[in-house]
Structure 1
Amino acid sequence: MIKFGIVGLGRIGKVHLLNVQRYCDNAQIVAACPVSSKHLIFVQNQGIAEHYDSFDKMLEQSDIDAVIIASPTAFHFEHIVKAAKAKKHIFCEKPIDLNFEKVNEIVSIVQASNIEFMLGFNRRFDPHVMQLKASVEAGKAGAARILKISSRDPAPPPLEFVKHSGGLFLDMSIHDFDMARYLVGSEVKEVVAHGAVFGDLPLQDYDDIDTAVITLIFENGCMVQIDNSRYNSYGYDQRIEYFGEKGSISTQNLRENEVLIADEDGYHTAKARHFFIERYEESYRNIMIDFINHLDRGTSPTITPNDGLKALKIALAVKQSFTENRAVQL
């Protein structure tokens, strides 16, 4: 039985906590922090007996094998360093940090600590993406030529979140940069980005945007086009098309239900699922199960700190491209 401590009981922290407690027979969360009065009943209802007001105190609990870091991004670096020093395996939400040098330091710290580390790029574990990846690796479409990713949110995050998020490229698009690397199987050599503010939220006051079109050129020649929006009227739009020398492979949106109505006005279906936790519910469960199974078998997880470093490098180059209105070489 692998015993976890968790830091951070916000929206994503609760998702990870429930997935471990409900779906992982070979793991259990035994400690949590920080546990405020508003979290106490929730934590107790999940059978977690040990509650702490600090991460340091939780790490002193001797029976903890690993930690889930779901704290705000600003605390990830500190929490990773402390957990690695305490020889605890780590599952960390993305991003590791918004600073390239700090993430590079984490790569070295994790390698030197002889611990296992999994970064929470959960979309790799979406069943549709997993099938697409398997089809790509089986050569169904041949070598990559063009990859298209549409990632559109139904609404922007609160301004308070925007202030500390690093902006659309580092918070939202970074998932797509990781997905592009994962599916293309090569590294980015050039980026071009364009963006704008179309919605009512004054994102420009925080050097942010709500809409972007991004082009990535990979070393193997594949061209990737990513479009992002914070405002989408028909739900949470997540689509991918992989076009290769022999054909194409694509994923479509998951809808609120799969009922199809046909009448004199045509065919009607439900909207796309409205929220990312609903759309990627299975992926959050799958990534945690995969991490725990790796720990159980004594093997290394598939998403490393270096994957986080490479995605961040792309994101920073894309941000530079947008700011300076030019192509940027990596």
Structure 2
Amino acid sequence: MLEFCQFGAGRIGAIHADNIALHSGATLRYVVDVNEAAARAMADKYGAQVVSTETALADRAVGAAIIASSTDTHADLIEAAARAGKAIFCEKPIDLSLTRVESCLEVAKEAGVPLALAFNRRFDPSFATLQRRLAEGEVGEVEMVCITSRDPAPPPIDYIKVSGGLFRDMMIHDLDMARWLLGEEPVEVAATASCLVDPAIAEAGDVDTALVTLRTASGRLCQISNSRRAAYGYDQRIEVLGSKGMLRAENHRPTTVEAATGDGVSRDKPLYFFLERYAAAYKAELDAFIDAVSSSTEPSPGGYDGHAALRLADAALQSFKEKRTVTLVW
């Protein structure tokens, strides 16, 4: 039985706590959160205890730590958990500073503990199937990848102010997907962006609409389309063009019912919220982490993937600000 301590009892933390409870080989032992009421509610629900960071990490019965607290706490908690010998499952990003991420990864490496990054979209059943069939060569060599990721509405301005911006907060998921699907590291990044949804986002120093083009050393291309607004729902699509054909993963909808009448053909809008759209992915990613720890294998995606995605996000931001293509050496 793998016992967890969890940092963070908010929206994402609640998802992870539910998925621990659903796994026959795991249990939640401790909850740590600055919001004592939220921590108490979660602990009471799962028979856990509310304790301090020090108490949670000092308990040798605890084998793993979930870090689902605010971004500014991630790096410190990773280092503390690593030094305590805990396997670590951390929400993205590790930190908003590449230098801080690098020092954090070094601590985890020296401690010899597993570190998984919660890039949950790799575990979405549709996307995972697409990637598997791509790797099996069904459509030949990858030539172009198109990733569409658009939120139904922007998050609160207070969140945007501390999020690190669209490229580091929202697009970082798509940049990880791009690396995964391209099968090669992008060496050129070109970005353009605007603020078309809410002027308050621009006043907060961010953008809400962006396009990024990536190019690998062999010439493979990827285009990522992001927007903080899609009136029709949560838009999550992937298309990969290969030398022998194409693979595509479409939006998920509440039902598959389609109506055809004299007025036209209609069907349900895409699922509205990311917690609904990626419910299966959240469960699968934690199951994969538990399996990796239990079998003493390296979890994936890991710390390097978190670092690489942040490098691409920083390059995209630099490209946008400097109005030029940024070159990366890996």
TM-score, reference length from structure 2: 0.97
In structure 1, C-alpha distance between the alignment counterparts of 2:15 and 2:169, rounded to whole Å: 19
Separation of aligned partners in 1, 2:199 and 2:46: 38
2:70 to 64, 69, 72: 72
CA displacement at 1:307 relative to structure 2: 0.5
Aligned twin of 1:140: 138
Q: Which residue of 2 aligns with 1:20?
A: 20
AA matched with 1:8? G
Q: Deviations over 1:238-290 (max 9, x none)?
A: 00000011111000000122211121112110110001111011000000000
State whether residues 4 and 64 of structure 1, in contact with CA within 8 Å, keep that contact through their aligned partners in structure 2. Answer: yes
Match runs of 1:161-310 below 5 Å: 161-310=159-308
**CA distance in 2 between partners of 1:200 and 1:312 (Å):** 25
- How many residues get paired? 327
RMSD: 1.0
Q: Deviation of residue 144 (structure 1)?
A: 1.0
- How far apart, CA to CA, are the structure 1 residues paired with 2:142 and 2:45? 48
The whole-number CA distance in structure 2 between the counterparts of 1:247 and 1:82 is 48
Q: Which runs of 5+ in 1 are unaligned?
A: none
- The aligned residue for residue 29 of structure 1 is 28
Q: CA deviation at 1:303?
A: 1.0
Distance 2:17 2:175 in 1: 27
- Structure 1 counterpart of 2:63, which letter? D
> For 1:84 and 1:42, how far apart are their aligned partners in 2?
24
- Aligned-partner SS, 1:298: coil
CA distance in structure 1 between the partners assigned to 2:204 and 2:323 by the alignment: 18
Q: Distance in 2 between matches of 1:91 and 1:160?
A: 26
Offset of residue 4 of structure 1 = 0.3
Match of 1:43 in 2: 43
Unaligned runs of 5+ in 2: none
Aligned-residue offset at 1:201 = 4.5
Asked if structure 1 preserves the Cα contact closer than 8 Å seen for 2:10 and 2:38, the reply is no
TM-score normalised according to structure 1 size? 0.97
Q: For each residue in 1:86-131, what CA deviation from the matched residue of structure 2 results, as whole angstroms up to 9, or x when unmatched?
A: 1111000000000000111122211111111110000000000111
Contact 1:106 1:305 in 2 (8 A): no
In structure 2, how many angstroms separate the alpha carbons of the residues matched to 1:208 and 1:4?
A: 36
CA deviation string 1:55-81 (max 9, x = no partner):
122212231111000010000011001
Equivalent residues in 2 for 1:42-121, closer than 5 Å? 42-48=42-48, 50-52=49-51, 54-121=52-119
Counterparts of 1:5 and 1:69 in 2: how far apart (Å)?
9
Aligned match of 1:127: 125
The alpha-carbon deviation at position 42 of structure 1 amounts to 3.5
1:311 counterpart = 2:293? no
What is the SS of the residue equivalent to 1:258? coil
After TM superposition, the structure 1 = structure 2 runs for residues 150-169 of structure 1, keeping only pairs within 5 Å, are: 150-169=148-167
Counterparts of 2:169 and 2:234, CA distance in 1: 16
Matched letter for residue 197 of structure 2:
G
- The one-letter code of the counterpart of 2:161 is K
1:94 touches 1:121 (CA, 8 Å); kept in 2? yes
For residues 99 and 60 of structure 1, the distance between their equivalents in structure 2, rounded to whole angstroms, comes to 28
Native 8 Å contact 1:4 1:67 kept in 2: yes
